[in-house]
Amino acid sequence: MVYFLRALKKQKQRLETKIEREQMLATKLPELSVNILELAAEHGKLTVSQIVELTGANRNTVKKHLHALVANQNLTQHGKGKGTWYGRI
């Protein structure tokens, strides 16, 4: 029983840390960037075309936000060119 309670306590601490991190990201990022992060968490991996379709944002605007999210290590970029997709770290 003690082992189980300690495991729950550790899990709670990890979740609190994760929630704090997510809240900090959400307050500092533009709305479209937050939407992109939520979509990446929901879908696993996304292409620029999928993000444009899901958000209705301009393709060039999406690319700028993706570039910033990758630079800030909020997303990872996989591939180059037309086959590029983005996912959560």
Confidence (pLDDT) at 84 = 95
Whether pLDDT at 58 is above 80: yes
Q: Which candidate, 81, 79, 83, 70, places its Cα nearest to that of 40? A: 70
Whether pLDDT at 29 is above 70: yes
Q: Which domain holds residue 34?
A: 2-88
Q: How many domains does the chain have?
A: 1
Strand, coil or helix: 66: helix
Residue ranges of alpha helices (H) inside the chain are 2-28, 31-43, 48-55, 59-71
Q: What is the CATH number of the domain that holds 82?
A: 1.10.10.10
Confidence (pLDDT) at 5 = 92
Whether pLDDT at 59 is above 70: yes
Count of Cβ atoms closer than 10 Å to residue 43 Cβ:
14
- Residue 60's pLDDT band (cuts 50, 70, 90): very high
- Residue 26's pLDDT band (cuts 50, 70, 90): low
Whether pLDDT at 24 is above 70: no
